[in-house]
Amino acid sequence: MPEPPSFDEAPLVLRAKAGDDTAFADLVKHYERRIFRLAKNITQNDEDAEDVLQESFMKSYENLDRFQGNSKFYTWLVRIAVNEALMKLRKRKSDKSVSLDEQLDTGEDTLVREIAVWDDDPEQKYSQDELRSILDNAVSSLEPIYSTVFQLRDVEEMSTEETAEALGISVPAVKSRLLRARLQLREKLTRFFQRKGDDVLAYL
């Protein structure tokens, strides 16, 4: 979920940069669940996600003096976490995406895919929790360059510009990868529900 509007990270960041460990601990407390969820979405492994969480906050703490405040602290933290998570995947030799900065041929992104016929209305057949679990499993099956963008834009509700800044890619690249992620999710969910014209995302 996006952070509540009442949360103002700026004073905590200033205090943390001045050496206030309590302020940094408050930042950790506020963001740790979101960073863990992002890391798990990329690594698909609780143990690796926990390692990414620890390393991300450790690196952000050690390099806090380098944070200039030109973006949100959370945006900067996300970029550190994404890099750590991708390093985990490379060490496991299971990352086939090479890099988040990989150039993509987006020509096929605008193509409309055929949707197979579904037998039942997903909302009638499954509870909201079940639908969420189905979607989470589908998201976790995406390649990291797509699942990460989907996670930040559609789950964390970061703006396109914030997502681009966090991942170090262009705004058009974010839009392209988000579109491809959504198309791939629709294709995966279609196989699951097998009903034409409906999209489980509409029920979530």
Cα distance between residue 203 and residue 128, in whole Å? 8
Report the distance separating Cα 108 and Cα 25, nearest Å: 45
Does 1 reside within a domain?
A: no
Q: 167 in a domain, yes or no?
A: yes
Kind of pairing between the strands at 118-119 and 194-194: antiparallel
Residue 112 DSSP label: P
**Which positions ≥6 away from 146 have C-beta within 8 Å?**
177, 180, 181, 184
pLDDT digits (tens, 9 = 90+) for 39-79: 988 888 889 999 999 999 999 999 999 998 888 999 999 99
CATH number at residue 180: 1.10.10.10
Residue 99 is assigned to a structural domain of this protein:
no
- Residue 174 gets which letter from DSSP? H
Tens-binned pLDDT, residue by residue, of the chain (204 aa)? 455 456 789 999 999 999 999 999 999 999 999 999 889 888 888 899 999 999 999 999 999 999 988 889 999 999 999 999 988 888 875 445 444 444 434 333 433 333 333 344 444 555 666 667 777 778 878 888 888 898 888 888 888 998 998 888 999 999 998 888 888 888 888 777 664 344 444 544
Domain count, the chain: 2
3-class state of residue 119 by DSSP = strand
Provide the 10 A C-beta neighbour count for residue 130. Answer: 11
Nearest Cα to Cα of residue 97 among 137, 58, 59, 42:
42
Q: Are residues 87 and 121 in the same domain?
A: no
Q: Are residues 155 and 122 in the same domain?
A: yes
- Domain containing 79 equals 9-91
Q: Report if residue 98 sits inside a domain.
A: no
Tell me if 162 sits within 8 A of 75, measured CB to CB. yes
Q: Which of 64, 91, 118 is the last residue of a domain?
A: 91
